[in-house]
Amino acid sequence: MKSRTVTLSLGSCEVIAPNRFTQMASGPPPASLRLKKPEGEEQTPEELAWVIRVQKAQLTRCVSVINAADGCRWRLVDKPPQECGLEELSLDAVPDGDLELLLAAIEAMREEAAAAAATFRAGVSPQGTAATGHPG
């Protein structure tokens, strides 16, 4: 599985593309999100809550351990800071800029995986050979 290194203010980590299990962990989307919304229409509180659940699932499942320069290591968790263990870092304690950077990296990895899957379904592997594994 491909990953991408991301450098944060806290340290560095690896990010992978979300899979179907990551999406399943956030539950089904609200019915209103399953329909195409008109341009410029705001999200409802229910839709926003679902988007937040998806982002939390991605951050806790698609980000490796964060390695700080001083040797500390943290795993992102979705619980209050006062409930975190020694090697756990609450999502609430991560700077907003780092969260945005991680989410952007996860989205980029998701898009790369989707493009690779579409190319493979079309009959061409990422290496330029037919999906059967034979050149040509």
Mean pLDDT across the chain? 84
100-111: per-residue pLDDT in tens? 999 999 999 888
Please state the domain count of the chain. Answer: 1
Q: Determine if the pTM surpasses 0.85.
A: no
112-132: per-residue pLDDT in tens? 888 877 777 766 655 555 555
Q: Answer whether residue 55 is part of any domain.
A: yes
What range defines the domain where residue 23 resides?
Answer: 4-27+44-106
Listed residue (52, 66, 84) closest to 10, CA to CA = 66
Listed residue (35, 29, 2) closest to 16, CA to CA = 2
Find the helix packing angle between 45-61 and 96-121, rounded to 10°. Answer: 80
Q: What is the pLDDT of residue 44?
A: 84
60-92: per-residue pLDDT in tens? 999 999 999 999 999 999 999 999 999 999 999
Q: Answer whether residue 9 is part of any domain.
A: yes
What type of residue sits at position 23? Q
Q: Answer whether residue 21 is part of any domain.
A: yes
Q: Answer whether residue 119 is part of any domain.
A: no
DSSP code for 93: G
Contact between 76 and 91 (Cβ < 8 Å): yes
